[in-house]
Chains A and B, each alone.
Chain A
Amino acid sequence: MNSDPSSRPAHLDPKRSFQGLILTLQEYWAAYGCVILQPYDMPMGAGTSHTATFLRALGPRPWNAAYVQPTRRPTDGRYGENPNRLQHYYQFQTILKPSPDDIQDLYLKSLYAIGIDPELHDLRFVEDDWENPTLGAWGLGWEVWCDGMEISQFTYFQQVAGFECSPVSGELTYGLERLAMYIQNVDNVYELNFNGARGDEKVTYGDVFLQNEQEFSTYNFKAADTELLFRHFTDAENECRALLAAGAPGSPANESKFHTLAVPAYEQVLNAAHKFNLLDARGVISATERQSYILRLRDLSKACGAAWLQTRSGGALSGKVEAGFPSDNATK
């Protein structure tokens, strides 16, 4: 269960490289028994929106997964000039359902694995309740502090898509850049050592992402075509509704007892949410309109959550879990 950093080449020491940090966390949670997933292939504002969290937190089936998710926050773009803020950054997300009794210890050991020595640091769980209005979700938990710096969000989901979570999932979200800056001891994100190499071989975070940050800040704040974005938002909303109707059990196209289009419908929510975030960054959504867009997204999220609960993976008709169904093997 313990990942052994010494078996890894020195340049992949999480204290030396950004990718070493990611690999260590993946190994740690893989050793625990999590499914290690790859990032969802669509833009989203948080790792929570990944189907592996948002949808899998619903329903009765156990589920343990970990993955890196690129996180898009268009309004946080700073043209690469702010050492702490990015419009695209990475979260490492672990979801454990049901949350195990030793989840705090499991989490702390993951910190030890990446080189945070509990003998040297002040680790604290400070109240922080989490709510995501566009996902109709909330939970209670903490932000985890290391020497006064927030390094993770730790949440026990209580509701997702407006549905009470039973069993409850524990969600651990590590802000990877911030964590890496701390353990590599650099003050500017662009100076993070990405590959752990020295001299000419060294690749920094800036080498990989500075150009992107500059270009996307321009895109987010100036270049994005707002008319097109408004249209795409509406298109995604309509497509989502259409898919939800078409995949519903008993609809003309679906003779099964299950919902058959819950995930494609949810992808349209991700689509719409990202368009909304871009429009927000372009400053074309007023304070009053903003609320109504959030409500529209929440309605879609809830409807998708309801649809998911009508799927097999969502635990519909559970009790009659079919042998060989992937979800049954994916659990610990």
Chain B
Amino acid sequence: MSDLLLELYCEEIPARFQANAAGQLKSAVTGALMEAGLSYDSAAAFAGPRRLTLAVGGIPARSMDKQIERKGPRTDAPARAVEGFAKAAGLTSIADAKIVKDDKKGDYYMARSVLAGEPAAKILAGFLPGIITGFNWPKSMKWGAGDLVWVRPLRAILATLGAENDETETIRFQVGGLTSANITYGHRFLSEGPITVRRFDDYAAALEAANVVLDGERRAEIIHQEAKGLAFAAGLVLIEDKGLIGEVAGLVEWPVLLSGTFDEAFLALPDEVIIATIKANQKCFCLRDEKTGRLAPRFVIVANMVTSDNGKSVIAGNERVIRARLSDAKFFYDADLGEPLENRLPRLAEMVFHKKLGSQLERVERLKALTVEIGPTVGADIDVARRAAMLSKADLVTAMVVEFPGLQGQMGRAYALAQGEDKSVAEAIANHYRPLGPSDTVPNDPVSITVALADKIDMLTGFWAVGETPTGSKDPFALRRAALGLIRIILENRLSLSLKSLISIGRMGHLDNVPLPVAGRSYTAPDAVMTFDRKMADDLVSFFHDRLKITLRQAGAAHDIVEASISVGADDVYAISQKVTALTGFLETPDGEKLLSGYRRTANLLRDEEKKDAATYAGRYDVNAISSEVARTLANAIALSAEAVAADMDGGDFSGAMAQLSALADPVDRFFDEVRVNDPDPAVRLALLNVLAHLRATMHLVADFSKIEG
């Protein structure tokens, strides 16, 4: 068994591409090994700023020999055909071929040969160049006068193969003017010269000695622990930022953590401004003082260098840059405070939201109109909600947000509070974008909820109206996230809202010639009258259904129960989730199980008989036709339940409805034990079938039990 070590050494790879590249290298090489008939025991891939590395263990020295059979002509075929076959199959004479008996079509020749296995090194040398030239980077380039395409110039290839505890050989191949070797290089500044490598063990150790931590996860762990340590030493806490740790781990081969300070005067800026400045521009970590809850005038640098002055110059340099950046931010912030948010609205007219959906100002007008409709249904004060909608996008034209787009909403909140706006208005300006992802929180203040729902339904109906709906993996306007967000806002706030009415509120903003309820005005498409027809609405409802299903399943619901609980036109998202909960509970009870099996027998039997009779039974019957006591008991029980179930469902009492169904479990069970539905008397049979049809219809009032899987 042999071990493969492959390293692709290149100029600095963007941090955001590294993890995927390691995964891709691993699956490409292991896939090609399997295809070539070579198994392996283990595979591990690593990525860093200057190298992708793959170690594959337990590869056989050779691929297995393969038996190849080749069918030839019939034994009575003309001699020329037989000779030709022998030659093509590489036989010295046709006597070496086997004759296969075939009574129907006549006996024929069969040539057998053995395709000898090949040394693993040869196979690897054969497919590795193709993996390199065919590598899929999100963005790639050429360099110099060559034709090779890589993420940044590829400078060296290391490829060795060797049995455990034995010498290794270099797998020889050429790609884009590079020849593979057994050489690597250490840290750009902390090590010198080439390093000769045999296998993964000495490779990893040599790199570590040459100031390269190979494993990105380990680099991230070092950064995290040491950053926490530096914070602790200063009596502070690290502001955790997983994304930043991951990014910085992709920027350094040898993480060296240092801590610097900035002038306390900058703490007059909102925390988020300081964090954004230090994080986005400098990729440094911020620290918090736990006693005050506020930011500390201190930050943590992740350098890639051990310097001869113990980091003094590095710290001084970073402090200078951060000082300059914070001065800029302070300048922007003070300038922004000088102009009230509402004065900025006219400039939103210059900011295109989407070419078919008008400017941000037009969008604000729509949001104002929508909040008037949505506000009362979620208990928000209309005037406050309208004010929040009006100011919701004003910060997009502040200097600070132009500089740091990620601060949209947060700056609006800060500026709103500074100019004395109602707290709900300020919070809504910040929170109407939320939730920003699955782990983000959902707004819970009625004003924030109103603006957040208006924002999302305006986007969804708008993009639906202009036909820019998500397809496959393409969702450039993040409409899936908007729909998921809207659903989470409804579920987590237990709102009883109809999707259809939300959609019809949203579409108002996008219809031509339909006056909006209050001051807003509709957007007139320049070339065509915008339509929002029934089909778009239905399509959008089913788009919501798909997101809702995902949400419920992620919350732990079984997929068949989710399917059973959402009927085609189902409209009340919160009610559906309640139903899922009740149904899940019900099916776990003995009655639930019993009734489900009764339902299945009912449904199967009806399906067969309805097919036979070419009829659909509606559940109406003449009770006098039924003589069986058991059947009559069931019929009465169903009749009683049906009304109660309908009433409970109307009132949204799903547990009540399920309890009503429970009462049917035993009668149904007895019915199937004791009653023969296919009675010789057609009138009796018809009545019994309809009793069952009534059962089916009653249960369908609650959920589509046919979707429940056994």
Contact = CB atoms under 8 A, between A and B. Distances in A.
Contact of A149 (B49, B188, B252, B321): B321
A101 B155 contact: yes
Nearest to A129: B139
Interface stretch (A24-32, A162-170, A200-208): A162-170
Interface stretch (B68-76, B115-123, B310-318, B503-511): B310-318
Contacts of A121: 305, 307, 313-314, 317
B15 A127 contact: yes
A224 to B, nearest CB: 21
A76 to B, nearest CB: 13
B142 A120 contact: no
Contacts of B303: 122
A255 B347 CA distance: 54
B351 A287 contact: yes
B301 A124 contact: no
A288 B352 CA distance: 9
A128 B16 CA distance: 12
B672 interface: no
A148 B307 contact: no
B304 interface: yes
A25 B143 CA distance: 24
A148 B284 contact: yes
Given A121-B314, A148-B282, A167 B307 contact: no
A288 B349 CA distance: 11
B253 to A, nearest CB: 11
B229 interface: no
Interface stretch (A9-17, A46-54, A139-147): A139-147
B142 A158 contact: yes
B528 interface: no
B324 interface: yes
Contacts of A93: none
B512 interface: no
A119 interface: yes
B284 to A, nearest CB: 7
B322 interface: yes
Interface in A287-308: 287-288
A67 interface: no
A245 interface: no
A287 B352 CA distance: 9
Contacts of A165: 142
Interface in A19-75: none
B555 interface: no
A132 interface: no
Contact of A120 (B153, B155, B304, B313): B313
A84 to B, nearest CB: 6
Contacts of B139: 129, 140
A149 B316 CA distance: 11
Given A84-B324, A101-B155, A147-B313, A122 B307 contact: yes
A119 B144 contact: no
B92 interface: no
Contacts of A170: 143
A50 B40 CA distance: 56
Interface residues of B, number: 45
Contact of B143 (A148, A168, A288): A168
B284 A98 contact: no
Contacts of B251: 124, 126
B152 A140 contact: yes
Contacts of B272: none
A182 B141 contact: no
A120 B143 contact: no
Contacts of B324: 83-84, 187
B14 interface: yes
B143 A123 contact: no
Interface string B138-160: 01111111000001110100000
A140 B141 contact: yes
Nearest to B139: A140
Nearest to A148: B318
Where chain B touches its partner, the secondary structure class is loop
Interface string B585-596: 000000000000
A100 interface: yes
Contacts of B283: 148
A156 B317 contact: no
A182 B307 contact: no
B308 A120 contact: yes
A26 B153 CA distance: 26
B11 A101 contact: no
Nearest to A104: B11
A268 interface: no
A168 B144 contact: yes
Contacts of A124: 12, 251-252, 304
A118 B144 contact: no
A143 to B, nearest CB: 11
A182 B317 contact: yes
B174 to A, nearest CB: 15
A167 B316 contact: no
A122 B304 contact: yes
A182 B318 CA distance: 11
Contacts of A126: 12, 251
B35 interface: no
Nearest to B11: A104
Most buried by A among B49, B153, B282: B153
A230 to B, nearest CB: 19
A7 interface: no
Interface string A64-100: 0000000000000000000110000000000000111
A286 interface: yes
B300 to A, nearest CB: 12
Interface string A159-181: 00000011110100000000000
A83 B11 CA distance: 34
B347 to A, nearest CB: 10
B189 interface: yes
B709 interface: no
A125 interface: yes
Interface string A236-251: 0000000000000000
Most buried by B among A120, A122, A126: A122
B145 A167 contact: yes
Contacts of B153: 99, 101, 156
A125 B318 contact: no
A332 to B, nearest CB: 13
Nearest to B282: A148
Nearest to A118: B189
A141 B141 CA distance: 9
Contacts of A182: 317, 320
Interface in A101-142: 101, 104, 118-127, 129, 139-142
A158 B140 CA distance: 10
A98 B305 contact: no
A156 to B, nearest CB: 5
A149 B317 contact: yes
Interface in B10-26: 11-12, 14-16
Contact of B145 (A98, A140, A141, A158): A98
A149 B143 contact: no
Interface string A212-226: 000000000000000
12 contacts: A100-B144, A121-B305, A121-B314, A122-B307, A127-B16, A142-B12, A147-B313, A148-B282, A148-B321, A187-B324, A287-B350, A288-B352
Given A122-B305, A167-B144, 12 more contacts: A120-B307, A120-B308, A120-B313, A120-B314, A126-B251, A142-B12, A148-B282, A148-B318, A148-B322, A156-B142, A182-B317, A287-B350
Counting from the closest, the 3 A-B pairs by CB-CB distance are A147-B317, A127-B14, A125-B12
